[in-house]
Structure 1
């Protein structure tokens, strides 16, 4: 398949610029692969599709305030810096995106206020607009100042300053491990109340960690999707989680990956016998059709942008015609798209 196969047109007013009033009141489209049936529910109805012994795999990554605003030394030109990944904690070197990129050169110093400064040490990386920035101070001071000065890294399409509500809502209720520059958006729909209902029913709620960078959200710029390269992201899966998931596999229970990031994590560490292995490291797993999934037999995911790697994974999990039909149905029924948008459950 080619990138153009994943293109579609939808009204811009269906982009979700704000979250729903309550997390679990977003719309839920339920897609049954066995008979191509589509149901329309609310997310708080999710528990109806799971029973004792089933397993939900959650990504417990936590978004940190990755967007900084500063000025160039001497010219005072305004520069926005988006922190992507820490390369060396001792050296305080980060991969970052800058805007406007044309104004930044090696040797430029940026002032962010409160004594935090950074110097551009490399802008010739092979990853497009990504440059390397060296910060002053020690590691502990740097992290403290990033949390003081940084803003919630809302997706660019929202195009408004983040507010206090975003600080809470652009984060799952089970976020624990700090390290993402984007939220695992399928998990944003879970309320503590819904998680408690699932727990009471005997559904296993297990957590993996995959720290999201911008790789999943960057456009695919090649027509041959097999030539697209994903950015690497840190991933952690412990043995206890593997034991629970593998037991569910043996019992032929429902195993649901909550979000494309959870799916990418578990598919990055599969044994030859199709069981889940512990994992600690980096993954650049890119899932696109055709693909044979080994662990999860169901998935929760938001409605994604055209030609995105997230849509490609969704099609790989279900089937092209079925997902395209679901997306056209979502447009007709006025489902909301993208990070703060509505969600589908694929069974």
Structure 2
């Protein structure tokens, strides 16, 4: 495993982080969850990402059980707050009330006394940013989180949040955007501002929900057990990429990957990790061996001609519009106030 500081903070994370978003899938069981976490630990992953939203809290519980007995100081555990966690009007968002109640619930489910980074899962337009950051400051100053982070915030939102965090004597160290060779939305605005401020990217979906692994071929049915075949597992994220044009271009990456001794998944990961502002890439897994195979991407060094070849194939179908920053993932309708 290789490691890197998160932005310009003192916190060091593994370049690959394990994310257990997949536990919301109806096809996974507790034994598979445990096996995947054990495989992550075996390849040297020390950074684990989850959220109170995932499987309505069951993901945090699952991760806590899987990490029980591990040396807590040797792990970096990240979770998130924002999405609905109950039926009440205040069971969502980034109000002081919801943040204070949610950190207590997350720690209870994880079975831990603190998390390393507590992240705002989205930006809350219905709550003053000052209130949100003051609540995060209370969480940090009470020892229940070491740092704070955000996810899918625009460049201006990151800038404002970072300034308030500085005033409140806490560190906003990370942003968690979707980022891959097919989803390049953060590159134009978010990443340059984060580099300026010393905020690192801990990116999600570096494999474009599995599309960049090459398992979806044009003109063929979706593999049994894949995310595209599971209507309970966020298929709507995949839909724009499940076209013959995109899938055909991905298949044409195979000789490029083969020439540098990589699988398609390893090539996609190496492409993401080469960016200097990317501290870590969050990987999910439905089988333990996926983590073992993908970890080999850490040793890859992509030459400029390889990057140019990837960009030539995928660039014409990649999404880049910065305006999509806040709409890049499926949104539970309860996230929006009536």
Task: Please state which band the TM-score falls in when normalised by the shorter chain.
Answer: under 0.3
Higher strand share: 1
TM (normalized to structure 2)?
0.25
Which TM-score applies when normalising by structure 1?
A: 0.24
Higher helix share: 2
Q: Which has the larger radius of gyration?
A: 1
Q: Which gives a bigger RCO, structure 1 or 2 (Cα 8 Å, sep 6+)?
A: 1
